[in-house]
A and B are shown apart, each in its own frame.
Chain A
């Protein structure tokens, strides 16, 4: 069996609202596959269908070779999941949460104890093992949930927004675990996120989801090729009407942003920037700020939908390769 997950025309409705509108995709064994999409795209709904918690209204889904509707038990035996929302017993300690999980999945005795120790050490929580979870920070709870999901050595691990709401350091930390997990155990990982950097950093392949549909799928590079351009943002001093969008043959596209900056699509930003300054000088326009970057997944999303993936964290700027040139005429 080559695919860990095979989904065909999957539909899921809540009442008369269709949250997932007929999606099809495949996840290969041993890869990290990411669902990237804004809030409400239908990522969690899809995960819940794939993990047998919700019944689909149409289409088929096979996970680890088993139909999620007809053989839910077979699927459950082979998957692990970290839910988007917490699912720990807050009254119990980290160790007890792990222990109960182990027992439910059929482990016991010294073997279980050793496994718990190894995993709690892996997520650096061993020294807090006897502390009730309600005293844990968000990041610690997340790490514990990751450790717990690994306890029964699932073939396929579902991570629903594994770093949502966490600070950048903790996020980077969790990414390390995810990479380590994949390397060590050769596990298939299905990840959902609305952080572009997360998808880019971790995933072998990415499906971009919006309004219940998959609108693009491929490696990060393949997706970026959809945009095809480098992107330059210019801030100009009091540009007169008409010169807002500079005109030249090397400029493939031009758009005035809501914040007043001008966005230019060019083949090669490195070559275009000097030309832009010449052009501006000719027209008597002062350029105050130039930012350029290679297309990001956000640009891909923008390109495909005309909207941005709303990014709550401030990590956008750390993820992008930004070149800043501040120019001021005296």
Chain B
């Protein structure tokens, strides 16, 4: 356990150290929430509009999506920045230590997911001032779902980064993975009115299930999948990606 907790401690220290970056990364979801959200909330302010969004106003509909997106983005970045550990050599410190590599990397992933969650909590707290229909009772289960997606995606980030040799592909991966997954998650609009092929892609996107479940808990919108499906899929994906990350990290060597 000591290596696991030490890696979480490290993520925490790095997180605190990079206040500017943390605040900077909160700007993105705030822009979505305020500018995008308020803009469309005005447009969808006609009678019957709430029918499109499962019976709630657009702002309330949007918030769970933005919170999940925040955790999703942040934990992916937390995971993939293990490439900096490769680049700056810290990874050698771990590889040469008499400690379980699996435990070390799970600590790294968990730490990343926790730091991403903290940012999600900040966004959610702000949202209560902007959106009127949010349910306080739904906060904990919604965050738990976000945490699962955070674990899955941080694991995915690590697994990808372990196969990258430089930061070169970083920008491309961000655009190729993050942006489509965000739009295909139902965070901004319902999955069920998407074209068939997009719905199909949405279903293989872990973020979709986090958005779906937390939208039920926070806004009371009835889920597109069953809650049981949301929890099962996210738990499964978290385990799967963490497993892949462990395997990749165990066989890591230096070159």
Q: Which residues of A contact B (CB under 8 A)?
A: 48, 51-55, 73, 76-77, 79, 81, 83, 85-92, 96, 100-101, 103-106, 108, 132
Number of A-B residue pairs having CB atoms within 8 Å of each other in the complex: 73
User: Which residues of chain A are near B95, meaning CB under 8 Å?
Assistant: 53
| Given A53-B92, A86-B88, A105-B97: A91 touches B6 (CB 8 Å cut-off) | no
Q: How far is the CB of B219 from chain A (nearest CB, A)?
A: 37
Nearest-CB residue, chain A, relative to B89: A87
8 Å CB interface, B78-117 against A: 85, 88-99, 104
Q: Which of A54, A85, A103, A105 is B89 in contact with, Cβ under 8 Å?
A: A85
B228 interfacial contact with A, CB 8 Å: no
B254 interfacial contact with A, CB 8 Å: yes
| Residue contact B17 to A87, C-beta cutoff 8 Å | no
| Residue contact B89 to A86, C-beta cutoff 8 Å | yes
Interface residues of A, dominant DSSP? loop
| Given A53-B254, A105-B98: A87 touches B13 (CB 8 Å cut-off) | no
User: Which residues of chain A are near B94, meaning CB under 8 Å?
Assistant: 104
B30 interfacial contact with A, CB 8 Å: no
Q: How far is the CB of A207 from chain B (nearest CB, A)?
A: 22
Most buried by A among B2, B96, B104, B253: B96
Q: A100-B9, A101-B93 are in contact. List 9 more A-B contacts (CB 8 A).
A: A53-B92, A76-B96, A83-B92, A87-B93, A88-B89, A92-B13, A92-B14, A103-B2, A103-B3
User: Which residues of chain B are near A91, meaning CB under 8 Å?
Assistant: 13-14, 17-18
B163 interfacial contact with A, CB 8 Å: no
| Given A85-B89, A100-B6: A53 touches B96 (CB 8 Å cut-off) | yes
Cα separation A54 to B91 with both chains bound (whole Å): 14
B135 interfacial contact with A, CB 8 Å: no
Q: Which of B3, B91, B96 is A52 in contact with, Cβ under 8 Å?
A: B96
User: Which residues of chain A are near B10, meaning CB under 8 Å?
Assistant: 89, 92, 96, 100
